[in-house]
Amino acid sequence: MKDGFKSLIAWQKALEFSEEIYRTTKDFPKEELFGFTSQLRRSAISVPANIAEGYEKQHNKEYLQFLYITKDSLGEVETYLFLALKLGYINKTNFNQLEEKRKEVGGLIFGLIRKLK
């Protein structure tokens, strides 16, 4: 494909999700910038990054490995979102919106995994 990984809906949605996480966390307490906020952002951006990195590998086995790491990162994001809700950094509506997007990306990743197997 001409655009490579950029043509993947999973990568596009994962990048949008990461952008949404960045927008959401800009309002988190400043004392969390180098702790909680940084961790949540890193786990979110690793999702499209791992899709891209896996896509560029030479073998499907390696690509699959990166997709599994991507699913792990989505689990990490889920945990941070639950904590952000409990700490009052996000409200229930925002949590639900982000969680729906996270689930959508997870479904797309699962589809890629099934396709490669």
The string of pLDDT tens digits covering residues 74-108 is 999 999 999 999 999 999 999 999 999 999 999 99
**pLDDT score, position 62:** 95
**pLDDT score, position 98:** 98
Listed residue (107, 86, 99) closest to 17, CA to CA:
99
* DSSP annotation string for 26-70: TTS-GGGTTTHHHHHHHHHHHHHHHHHHHHTSSSHHHHHHHHHHH
**pLDDT score, position 117:** 87
**pLDDT score, position 2:** 67
As a whole number of angstroms, the distance between CA 84 and CA 95 comes to 8
**pLDDT score, position 104:** 98
**pLDDT score, position 3:** 85
As a whole number of angstroms, the distance between CA 8 and CA 11 comes to 5
Do residues 1 and 27 make contact, with C-beta atoms less than 8 angstroms apart? Answer: no
**pLDDT score, position 59:** 92
Q: Which residue ranges of the chain lie beneath pLDDT 70?
A: 1-2
- CATH of 4-25+37-116, picked from 3.40.50.2300, 3.20.20.70, 3.40.50.1100, 1.20.1440.60, is 1.20.1440.60
Angle, CA of 34, 77 and 88, to the nearest 5°:
70
